[in-house]
Amino acid sequence: SDLQKQEERGELLQPLIFVLLVLCSVLLYFKVSLMDPGFVKPEEEEGEDKGQGVVIPQIPGDIKLRRCGYCLVKQPMRAKHCQLCQHCVRRYDHHCPWLENCVGERNHPLFIVYLSVQLVVLLWGGHVAWSGLYFEQSREWLQHNIFLLVSFLLILIFTIVVLLLLVSHLYLISCNTTTWEFMLQHRISYLRHSERENPFDQGIILNLWRFFC
């Protein structure tokens, strides 16, 4: 059959890989959106915060870990209360409206993986949509290609958004800072009173290693 001939020629491999990438992207989306981003539990002590022993000596001694005014838990360093999730989140980065969940200490690495897979899917889909277009200056051409044209433009917009988001997050990770700390540095006590602009920065290689590994 035609299907067997296509399989023998390897023509089904690329569509299969594309479908698997889309499936992987969907699974990662649900994983990141449904998992615990690093909620601070009431029974936890502030000294249990991972990596806290590394960063505390670089922070001025007069800055004390405070108790959250909303959920009344002791906030570890770099934690922030999210009013949408109604929890304090460890190493809070931002609340993602696409995921309806916070991006924090536990799901931030998976969030980067999700963005990377999504970018590959969008680039692949954009290539497929572009390759299906053939340009002619006629009304009939527009009627027959309007779906592909609109699809390509939408894919292009989402690709730009995802690419910018991924690049910005990789930059912040390489500096060992978060979106929240980067945007509101002048309002965060342990950054405002620090002698260094970023007391958590330990070099690009070590920052990436600690984040992903």
Contact call for residues 63 and 30 (beta carbons, < 8 A):
no
**Dihedral sign computed on CA atoms, order 182, 184, 185, 188:** negative
39 has which bridge partners? 89
Active site residue 96: yes
What does the block give as tokens for 125?
């889909």
Does an H or E element contain 102, and which? strand 101-103
DSSP codes, 152-199: HHHHHHHHHHHHHHHHHHHHHHHTT--HHHHHSGGG-HHHHT-SSS-T
Query: In the chain, count of helices (H) and strands (E)?
Result: 8, 4
Contact call for residues 165 and 31 (beta carbons, < 8 A):
no
Length of the chain: 213
Catalytic residue among 68, 85, 96, 175: 96
Contact call for residues 181 and 78 (beta carbons, < 8 A):
yes
Q: How many CA atoms within 13 Å lie on the side-chain side of 173?
A: 20
Which residues have a catalytic role annotated?
96
